[in-house]
Every structure is written in structure tokens, then in C-alpha cells.
Amino acid sequence: MRGATVCAVLPLMEVRSLLGGTMLVSVPYGIYGGAIGDADGVAVLLDEAVRLGESIGAKSVELRSVTAKATDWQTANRHATYRKALPDTVDGCLAALPRKARAAARLARDRHGLTVRFGDDGLRPCWRFYCGNMRRLASLAYPFSFFEALMRELPEVPVVSLFEYQGRTIGGLMTLMFRGTAMPYFVGVDERYSRLNVYNYIYLTAMEQAVADGCGVFDFGRSRLDNEGACAFKRNQGFEQQVLQYQTYWPSGASPVSLTPSNPKFAMARRVWPMLPAAVTRPLGGWLSKHVPG
């Protein structure tokens, strides 16, 4: 504060992890975070974050900044984000895609006959498809209660969409909405139908619905730079890559702890995870996700 004026803000949350110890993260389970405001105010908040981390014995203080703000914190360029402006009309969404992406989406819709339906009643099947997708990727899926909380607590209700082929539901997507920006956050597809260009169709319909709802920006979210398949898909949809400058402060005496999927310590677990049945990975992944702040 400067008098009665707020000059900077830093959302910071404490995460108590069995794997990584106590951490301060801005913000967990999200793509973006860090401090915003004028330079002097941001500097004060960063100093306070360091003091707070030291006082509670945190192993790390992490800022998920788009651009680095702390001059003496470690910067890790491991992720990139993808955003672009949406066209003014629903009909313009298909035309705005690059040629190959446009052809794939049209093939899915016109030749394969994929259809989409929207509604909150699709939340549980959408979550199940998402869990299956995360299991195949050897990643942890958030519990269904987390999805329910998003639907209940977010100021703008997420859009849930299900995708059908010949009367069978084959995929789902949850898109978060905030101040004119659509963010397709959780997705999953029955892998038996991936040959039908389902993902191209999914994101085309997400863009069309976003325009219909008055959104002007489509935020494709982050991908790890070492996941070239995901990065290439987003670039092929016409999105430019922006590397995120996440920063971490390690308090005195703390040993750096990496909870990223690329950590060699998780290699065996990641090989085994896709082999486990969904009855195991869903509840176990939901529990473990509380200790890995996404």
C-alpha cells in the first residue's frame, strides 16, 4: 500500500507436500502467477515473500511469472504459453486456422461426422476422459471434487463440452472463462478414436463457443518445452510460443527439490503408471496431486 492506494499484489499460497516439503507458490495448479504492480511495490512484496519463506521453513518460493521480476532469483525457462486473439464471428474460427489444421478440423466434422454438445451434466464423463488422458501420459489427474469446486466457486462458470461419434461419447473438455479469455484447461479423448482428428475438432468448437460467449482471446495454456508434440500441435493451430519465466527462491540451507515429470527419480513411477488400472490411478492420483502443485 502507498497511503490508501494498492500499488502491487502478490498472491502466494502455502503448499505442504510429502514430496517437496513446505512450499510457497504463486500460484499452485495454475499457469500464471507472481507479483504485479509498480516496481517499488513489487520489490517490497518479493522481499516479504523471502522473509515469509525463511520464517516458515519453506523449501522454496516459486513465482509463475510471465516475465521475470526478481533480479536475483533463479529463472527456469521450462514452459511456454500460447495465446491469440479470436475472430469477430463464429464462422471466422475455421477460416482463421492454418491450412493443415483447418483441413483436419473440417475432416473431423464433415467426413467423420463428429458432433459436440454442451452442458454441466457432462462434467463427470469429461473428468473420466481427462483421467484416462493423464494416465496415458503418466501424469496425475485431479480428483472429481476439484472439478466440482471449479464449477461451484469460479466467478464465471466453466464450459463443459462432450464430443460424439456415431452416437458414442468419445471425449470431453472443460474450458475456463475469465474476463473475455477462454482457457481450454482439461481435456481427454478415447484413444481408440484419435485417428478421427478429434483434437482438431475439439479446439475448433472451443474457439467457436468462446466467440459465441463474447470472448476475444483464446489461451491455449502452457506446455513443457521438452514435450515437443504438445508444443508443435499448438503452433500448428496458429499460436505463437511465449516462453514463461518462472522464478524460484531457495531459502538458506534448503536443497532444491524438483517435482517436474522430467526428474529422473520419477522415471520408474512414470513407466508403471500407465499400466495401472483406472480404479487405482484415479484415487491415488487425486491424493498425490495435493502434494504436487501442478
Nearest in space to 174 (alpha carbons), one of 182, 42, 166: 182
Q: What is the pLDDT of residues 193-223, one digit of tens each?
A: 999 999 999 999 999 999 999 999 999 999 9
Distance (Å, whole) CA 103 – CA 199: 13
Lowest mean pLDDT among 51-60, 102-111, 122-131, 164-173: 51-60
What's the average model confidence in pLDDT over 179-206?
97
Domains for the chain: give ranges and CATH numbers: 8-79+244-291 (no CATH), 81-242 (3.40.630.30)
What's the average model confidence in pLDDT over 60-84?
93
What's the average model confidence in pLDDT over 174-190?
97
- Residue 144 has a CB neighbour count (10 Å cut-off) of 16
Cis peptide before 292 (omega within 30 of 0): no
11 vs 260, residue with greater confidence:
11
Q: For residue 288, what is its C-alpha cell?
A: 498425490
**pLDDT for the residue 1:** 60
Contact (CB, 8 A) for 171 and 191: no
72 vs 259, residue with greater confidence:
72
267 band by pLDDT with thresholds 50, 70 and 90 = confident
Let me know how long the chain is. Answer: 294
Lowest mean pLDDT among 16-20, 96-100, 209-213: 16-20
**pLDDT for the residue 294:** 81
**pLDDT for the residue 203:** 97
The C-alpha cell 479470436 sits at: 86
**pLDDT for the residue 280:** 95
pLDDT at 128 over 80: yes
**pLDDT for the residue 109:** 97
Q: What percent of the chain has pLDDT over 90?
A: 86
265 band by pLDDT with thresholds 50, 70 and 90 = confident
224 band by pLDDT with thresholds 50, 70 and 90 = very high
What's the average model confidence in pLDDT over 180-203?
96
pLDDT at 143 over 90: yes
What's the average model confidence in pLDDT over 33-56?
93
Amino acid at 146: F
148 band by pLDDT with thresholds 50, 70 and 90 = very high
262 band by pLDDT with thresholds 50, 70 and 90 = confident
**pLDDT for the residue 261:** 76
The answer for residues whose C-beta is within 8 angstroms of residue 78's C-beta and 6 or more apart is: 224, 225, 226, 244, 246, 260
What's the average model confidence in pLDDT over 24-39?
93
Q: Is 20 helix (H, G, I), strand (E, B) or coil?
A: coil
**pLDDT for the residue 285:** 94
Lowest mean pLDDT among 17-21, 121-125, 195-199, 281-285: 17-21
CA quadruple 63, 65, 68, 74: dihedral sign: positive
Q: For residue 165, what is its C-alpha cell?
A: 461419434
Instruction: Share the mean pLDDT of the chain.
Output: 93
